[in-house]
Structure 1
Amino acid sequence: MRRPAGGRGARALTPTERVRRLRRRTTALFALTSAVGLVAMAAFAVRSDDARWRDQLDRTMDGDTSWAIGLLETGEDGRLDTNALVETMGTGCPPLSVLSAAPSAAGTGDPRLVVEHAPARPCLSVPAADVRAVAAAAVRAGDAAAFDRRATDGEPVRLFAMPFFAPDAGEGDPPQGAVVTMTATSDQAADHRRLFWLVTAGCALLVAVSAAVGHLLSGRAVRPALSVLGQQEAFLADAAHDLRTPAASLRTLAETALRGETDSTDVLKRTLRLAEGMGRLVDGLLTRARLMSGTATLAREPLRLDQLVEAVVAETPAEGHRVTVRAEESVVDADPDLVRRAVANLLGNALAHGHLPGAPAEVRIGVGRDGSVTVEDAGPGLPPEVAGALFERFRSGAGSTGLGLSIASWVAHAHGGTLTADRGDLGGARFVLRLPAAP
């Protein structure tokens, strides 16, 4: 027996959960993309700063070594003379060391270097092996060389070596030696570390902000889908709730007719009433779904509201109830079919609930010049438990689907009007539908 994918006990996600999971993944992808871009720019900025401060130090030390090379002299015996260098400029700070390449080793492999001059009391001291290493690199390359090392006291330093050539050297001749200088890099390194942590913190903050913005944008993007899914689930719940009882009643009637336990004429009459009721339910469900989804377009036109209300009252079977209409001439800018349905729902609600058990209903309907329709009954009034959510589905009361008032409220709001409920003068409920008057 195969287990469902995703592990033991895995369940299929609902459409709403899949949309929310898509939102989370979109947010994560947005944040990851931003993080990759920010990290790349941060790395470029840090590396550029690191190269910049080293280049600045190298330029400064290049000037020092070039000046020192200009003060070197070569005796008649070919030996270096550093007296002019020592007498002209102090070689202790920045430390200046002069190393010559032995003739037997110059230009062949690693040069054998001889220290011609080293400062007696340098402001920075590094191991002699480091000085020889940077000088050897400059002699081998025939160009400046620079290393990052540590002084004897642990302070970071930058070593710089510039090769020099004999006065009579021709093109292609090896260097005669190299001048080495150094400088402390503690301040530059500290500034670089501060920049690194500042950029790191800035990147983290920007990634967090981008994640929040991505979550907000993805939420706005999936909001219509979630709204549609919610409307679909509400419609399915309404349909299942409202059609379950009449469908069960039809099945019971069919089973009774098959057993021959009742008169077939009575069964057909009851079946016809149930079918008409189911038709009204389906029509109401579809109307409410179209209103909620915004697919029901309003065919606005100047409408005589008083005449429409009188027509609705005339078409509604009273069945022994008393309905009084007091209408003033009123013209509104509205959709006739939707307004007719809203008024019919309000009247039907008053006839169904606006009386005590066994007593006829007394309903008063008023139409005002301001585009208002007032439906008032003499029933028990609004139950406190449903008064706060009266226009939600399944809230009208016992024996009702709860769609009538919900549809009437949606019609009012679709036209830019309102539907309110309170206690009337007859002691029952009073509903006031207000629609925008025509210009």
Structure 2
Amino acid sequence: MTSPRRRRSPWRSREHALTPTARVLRLRRRISLLFALTSAVGLVAMALLAVRSDSSRWREQLDHSMDADTSWALGLLETDEDGRLDTGVLAETVNTDCPPLTVLLVDADDPDGVSVQHAPAKACLDVSRAVVLEAGRASVHADDTRAFDRRTRDGRPVRVFAQPFYAPEAADDAGPQGVLVALADASGPRADHDRLVWAVTGGCAVLVLLSAAVGHVLSGRAVRPALAALGQQEAFLADAAHDLRTPAASLRTLAETALRGETDSADVHRRTLRLAEGMGELVDGLLTRARLMSGTATVARQPLRLDQLVEAVVDEAPVAGHRVRVDVEDTVVVADPDLVRRAVGNLLGNALAHGHAPGVPADVLITVSRDGTLTVEDAGPGLPPEIAGALFERFRSGSGSTGLGLSIASWVAHAHDGTLTAGRGERGGARFVLRLPTQD
């Protein structure tokens, strides 16, 4: 019996389908989101703390004001000869209509029950009697002051404050004799609090968006080296795949021809050797270019006789059948000998390969001036118009070459804070001018 085939998770398939660049970009988005969420959590926590603090503050201010009013009003309450509470002095002395002040008495038969002893005649804050009785009962039950948020009959917010009072000669464990209930208009403080809430909310939203933008910028800078490294890696792999495909195919064809016995073995060996040497130079050029692009190639700057280096490169170059003239002056530049040697060799090789018509020897003139300028000029057909604008990019030299020589020469020039330019020479061919910094 065969086991059921396991289904692959679509998320895992999508994970494997992403390119390295896409994964880095997704990481950037996640970092930006995490930065924004972290900022949002901190800002929301601070906003809640500020809102709650302001909410407690304005309530405490109203409660403190009403506590002072009720405490002063308690001194105006009197009792008659029979021990009954007399609110006449309070009503005559204090305007109990605004802010409204109500005196409640505790029912002797029902300790939690209260009744109205004095109520404002025309209260400026119209609340239902049930609200006042509720506050009185709560204060009696707790045997302490109590405060509540309620609304008037027309919907205005009010603060209700209830303070119990005791009979003059009551025992210490005796309950309250009554309760004073005061009302305060909370419209102003409540409106100020609401404005603060909206301001804090809007500020948090703006700061979260700003932090998200900052996080996106910072994460972009953080992943920029990774994206650059991936781009260089992809460029190197593209160079290697593009340039090694042709010689590898030639080697395979040569090997198949040799196996069939269709050619002389000595000729096969010679052609194989040439292909191997060409592939070795190609790999060396690819590695040099990759090191220059990644910045890992160390530029060992030192005083260098450019004229002597050029003469040595010409002596070592395979110029058989071609004409190469050298016109140099004593010139000292500050550069890396190995890198400059490769750049000069690439410029000379390019002139020998492309600076002449088919079947005609190349005529190359190399000059070195004291200002650190090296000029390589040929008498060939000149630069093709279609590649003149992108001559120093890879795969741009044409005529079946790799396109790495001029690219490496350009990188060497820029690595030394110099320049490499191309144009039309006086003899109609191509002229390349390499400028390097001289010794002061």
Task: Report the TM range for the smaller structure's normalisation.
Answer: over 0.9
Alpha-carbon distance between aligned partners in 2 of 1:247 and 1:391, rounded to the nearest angstrom: 25
The residue aligned with 1:20 is 25
Shift of 1:12: 2.0
TM-score (norm 2): 0.96
**Residues 135-214 of structure 1 aligned to structure 2 (within 5 Å):** 135-214=136-215
1:198-249 CA-partner distances (Å, limit 9, x unpaired)? 1111111111111111111111111111111111111111111111000100
The residue aligned with 1:257 is 258
Alpha-carbon distance between aligned partners in 2 of 1:85 and 1:170, rounded to the nearest angstrom: 25
Shift of 1:2: 4.6
Shift of 1:319: 2.7
1:392-426 CA-partner distances (Å, limit 9, x unpaired)? 11111121100000100111111111111111111
For residue 84 of structure 1, what is the amino acid of its counterpart? V
Alpha-carbon distance between aligned partners in 1 of 2:386 and 2:71, rounded to the nearest angstrom: 96
Alpha-carbon distance between aligned partners in 1 of 2:401 and 2:114, rounded to the nearest angstrom: 107
What is the SS of the residue equivalent to 1:388? helix
What is the SS of the residue equivalent to 1:234? helix
What is the SS of the residue equivalent to 2:333? strand
For residue 191 of structure 1, what is the amino acid of its counterpart? D
What is the SS of the residue equivalent to 1:412? helix
The residue aligned with 1:290 is 291
2:354–2:399 contact (8 Å) kept in structure 1: no
Indicate which of 2, 9, 30 corresponds to 1:5. 9
Alpha-carbon distance between aligned partners in 2 of 1:196 and 1:236, rounded to the nearest angstrom: 57
TM-score (norm 1): 0.97
The residue aligned with 1:223 is 224
The residue aligned with 1:86 is 91
Alpha-carbon distance between aligned partners in 1 of 2:146 and 2:398, rounded to the nearest angstrom: 93
Deviates more, 1:97-106 or 1:30-39: 97-106
Alpha-carbon distance between aligned partners in 2 of 1:127 and 1:198, rounded to the nearest angstrom: 34
**Residues 70-109 of structure 1 aligned to structure 2 (within 5 Å):** 70-106=75-111
Alpha-carbon distance between aligned partners in 2 of 1:121 and 1:156, rounded to the nearest angstrom: 18
Shift of 1:384: 2.1
- Give the total of aligned pairs: 435
The residue aligned with 1:321 is 322
For residue 333 of structure 1, what is the amino acid of its counterpart? V
1:115-159 CA-partner distances (Å, limit 9, x unpaired)? 110011111111111100101111222221111111112211111
Alpha-carbon distance between aligned partners in 1 of 2:223 and 2:11, rounded to the nearest angstrom: 28
For residue 102 of structure 1, what is the amino acid of its counterpart? D
**Distance change in 2, residues 1:281/1:3 (3 Å):** farther
The answer to whether 1:32 aligns with 2:40 is no
For residue 6 of structure 1, what is the amino acid of its counterpart? P
The answer to whether 1:64 aligns with 2:65 is no
The residue aligned with 1:46 is 51
For residue 48 of structure 2, what is the amino acid of its counterpart? A
The residue aligned with 1:271 is 272
For residue 408 of structure 2, what is the amino acid of its counterpart? I
Q: Name stretches of at least 5 consecutive residues in structure 1 with no aligned partner.
A: none
Shift of 1:4: 3.9
What is the SS of the residue equivalent to 2:17? coil
For residue 321 of structure 2, what is the amino acid of its counterpart? G
Shift of 1:9: 7.3
2:303–2:334 contact (8 Å) kept in structure 1: yes
1:326-351 CA-partner distances (Å, limit 9, x unpaired)? 10110011111110000000011111
Alpha-carbon distance between aligned partners in 2 of 1:429 and 1:77, rounded to the nearest angstrom: 127
Shift of 1:67: 1.1
1:349-402 CA-partner distances (Å, limit 9, x unpaired)? 111111122222111111010111111112222222212211111111121100
Alpha-carbon distance between aligned partners in 2 of 1:20 and 1:162, rounded to the nearest angstrom: 65
Alpha-carbon distance between aligned partners in 2 of 1:72 and 1:384, rounded to the nearest angstrom: 109
Alpha-carbon distance between aligned partners in 2 of 1:149 and 1:118, rounded to the nearest angstrom: 18
Alpha-carbon distance between aligned partners in 2 of 1:26 and 1:7, rounded to the nearest angstrom: 20
Shift of 1:75: 1.3
Alpha-carbon distance between aligned partners in 2 of 1:90 and 1:236, rounded to the nearest angstrom: 93
What is the SS of the residue equivalent to 2:390? coil
For residue 39 of structure 2, what is the amino acid of its counterpart? S
- How large is the RMSD of aligned CA atoms in angstroms? 1.3
What is the SS of the residue equivalent to 1:350? helix
For residue 42 of structure 1, what is the amino acid of its counterpart? A
For residue 171 of structure 2, what is the amino acid of its counterpart? G
Shift of 1:5: 2.7
2:356–2:363 contact (8 Å) kept in structure 1: yes
For residue 174 of structure 1, what is the amino acid of its counterpart? G
For residue 191 of structure 2, what is the amino acid of its counterpart? A
Shift of 1:186: 1.4
Shift of 1:170: 2.8
Alpha-carbon distance between aligned partners in 2 of 1:334 and 1:416, rounded to the nearest angstrom: 10
What is the SS of the residue equivalent to 1:32? helix
For residue 232 of structure 1, what is the amino acid of its counterpart? Q
Shift of 1:8: 10
The residue aligned with 2:241 is 240
